[in-house]
Amino acid sequence: MTRSARPGDGYTVGGDGADYAFWREHAHINLSPVAAPSILGLFGFAVSTFMVAANMAGWYGDDRTTPLILAPMAFAFGGVAQFLAGMWSYRARDALATGIHGAWGSFWIAYGIYQLFVGLGGVPGTSASPVAAAAVGFWFIGLAAVTWTGVVAALAENMAVTAVLGTLAVGATLLAIGMIGGFSMLNMIAAYFLLVSAVLAWYTASAMVLEAVYKRPVLPVGRPLARMTTTGQPPAMIQFALDEPGIKVGQ
């Protein structure tokens, strides 16, 4: 059963083109604009992941001094900053960013604390203790599962975010297998996947910054896969053409 949207206006609530046009033209929303939280989240992830993965790959560092240097950086930028980005993503109603930044931000906070204890000699590092390596490896099982879910969700966002999460998911999966099974070569391969993910995260965040400043796409991020309804037709979303993150009229 349909009803008139307004007495005498001629439009009905039935999902047809006229109904969509009426609500598209007459809907109102009060905005509380925010910048895309993933800009900070991706930059924090990119820098922290690059530094830690480069150390894992053997590009620099040792087992005693380096953890003390990496700990505060990973805790603050990769952890606190990214976790805050996840909570701001919650405010912006960005489910994907909330889950990924929240999960990995929490991990980086814990990783920073762990590395501090390693550097102070309170607990063994993963390279010195198979027991510690296996314990951290089990954490990477959970992180890999969360990230693979994010990969599937990112297919509806753009290819740049999908690539970031895809390489991250592969790296986390390899770390889980390598640390639990004691396969050092897999850990090395995983480090390079994480390095690629870090570079892609930097690129994606840079694209978001430039688009926000110049009001047009500057760096390509790739088109998302088509978002289809259960009927196979693209959904008619009532929203602004250039909307704030997560803001859709009618939600």
User: What are 1-51's pLDDT values in tens digits?
Assistant: 334 444 444 444 445 556 666 766 666 655 566 788 999 999 999 999 999
Distance separating alpha carbons of residues 231 and 1, to the nearest angstrom: 20
Determine which of 30-44, 133-147, 167-181, 227-241 has the lowest per-residue pLDDT on average: 227-241
Sign of the torsion angle spanned by Cα atoms 52, 58, 184, 116: negative
Backbone angles phi, psi at 115, to 5 degrees: -65, -35
DSSP, res 182: T
Residue 48 in contact with residue 70, Cβ under 8 Å?
Answer: no
Coil, strand or helix at 219: coil
Give yes or no for residue 241 having a pLDDT over 80: no
Other CB atoms within a 10 A radius of the CB of residue 16 amount to 11
Q: Which of 101, 218, 80 is nearest to 168 (CA)?
A: 101
Tokens standing for residue 181? 């099974």
pLDDT of residue 104: 97
Residue 56 in contact with residue 174, Cβ under 8 Å?
Answer: no
Give yes or no for residue 239 having a pLDDT over 90: no
Other CB atoms within a 10 A radius of the CB of residue 60 amount to 9
Residue 151 in contact with residue 197, Cβ under 8 Å?
Answer: no
Average pLDDT rounded to a whole number, residues 202-209: 97
pLDDT of residue 147: 98
Residue-averaged pLDDT of the chain: 85
Other CB atoms within a 10 A radius of the CB of residue 39 amount to 18
pLDDT of residue 24: 65
Distance separating alpha carbons of residues 42 and 9, to the nearest angstrom: 47
Give yes or no for residue 142 having a pLDDT over 90: yes
Determine which of 5-9, 97-101, 187-191 has the lowest per-residue pLDDT on average: 5-9
Give yes or no for residue 127 having a pLDDT over 70: yes
Average pLDDT rounded to a whole number, residues 162-185: 97
Residue 75 in contact with residue 108, Cβ under 8 Å?
Answer: yes
